Amino acid sequence: MSIRNDIERVLINEQQLHDRVITLGERIAQDYGGRPLLLVGVLKGAVPFLADLARAIDAPVEMDFMAVSSYGNSTHSQGYVRILKDLDDIVIDRDVLLVEDIIDTGLTLSYVLDLLRQRAPASLRVCALLDKQKVHAKHLHPDYTGFPVEDEFVVGYGLDYAQRYRNLPFIGVLKPEIYR
């Protein structure tokens, strides 16, 4: 059973993802001037992006992960954020780059940013693969963005619907009958 049959259209293909991640990685390595960097990934959606991005950054990189929940199994934000797993590492005095799969309402991002800021990192920036570019309540703008996307529900390359489709190598839109 191919999961690709559930996709109505491909928004960003594998080559486009690859090319953009390489560009982002080069820019990040340059901006940090070779300083060690802690990549913080928000589980589970950021995993494929973070894994590819880390390999595109030619500088000392460490990785750590947090898990938060804001969506459950639905396709609409439930308006709250809960920590399911905290970081293993200490972030004080470190250059931290928060890696997110997608910014929709910005609720998850602002929650995680507030939390990390309280831990006094040397610097804190955000790299989001996708940005729905809504007028975020807290005026959140990622320092690095992969692609702007329309306000529609997307899956693939880490993004799920009911925990599936994270392993698609591209970003796409599901057929409407899948939601029903």
Among 10, 51, 59, 77, binds ligand 5GP (CB under 6 A): 77
- Is 19 part of the annotated catalytic residue set? no
Please identify which of the residues 19, 104, 143, 160 carries the catalytic annotation: 104
Longest Cα–Cα distance of the chain, Å, equals 49
**Distance of alpha carbon 141 from alpha carbon 103, whole angstroms:** 9
CA–CA gap between residue 26 and residue 24 (Å, rounded)? 5
Binder of ligand 5GP out of 29, 153, 170, 178 (CB under 6 A): 153
Rounded to whole angstroms, the Cα distance separating 122 from 33 reads: 15
> According to the binding rule CB under 6 A, does residue 142 interact with ligand 5GP?
no
Residue 136 and residue 103 in contact, taking contact as beta carbons nearer than 8 Å: yes
The answer to the question of residue 107 lying near ligand 5GP (CB under 6 A) is: yes
Q: Applying CB under 6 A, does 105 fall inside the site for ligand 5GP?
A: yes
**Helix, strand, or coil here: 171?**
strand
Please choose, from the candidates 7, 167, 173, the residue with its C-alpha nearest in 3D space to the C-alpha of residue 75. Answer: 173
Cα atoms in the Cβ-side hemisphere of radius 13 Å centred on 64:
17
Residue nearer to ligand 5GP on the CB measure, 52 or 100: 100
Instruction: Quote the CA–CA distance of 152 and 104 in Å, as a whole number.
Output: 10
Residue 103 in the binding site for ligand 5GP (CB under 6 A): yes
Token pair of 42, please? 């928000």
| Of positions 24, 37, 94, 104, contacts ligand 5GP by CB under 6 A | 104
Region of 25-33, 55-63, 97-105, 115-123 interacting with ligand 5GP (CB under 6 A): 97-105
Least Å distance, CB 86 to ligand 5GP, is: 17
C-beta of 58 vs 179, nearer to ligand 5GP: 179
State yes or no: residue 45 binds ligand 5GP (CB under 6 A).
yes
Footprint on this chain of ligand 5GP (rule: CB under 6 A): 45, 70-71, 77, 100-109, 153-155, 159-161
Active site residues: 104
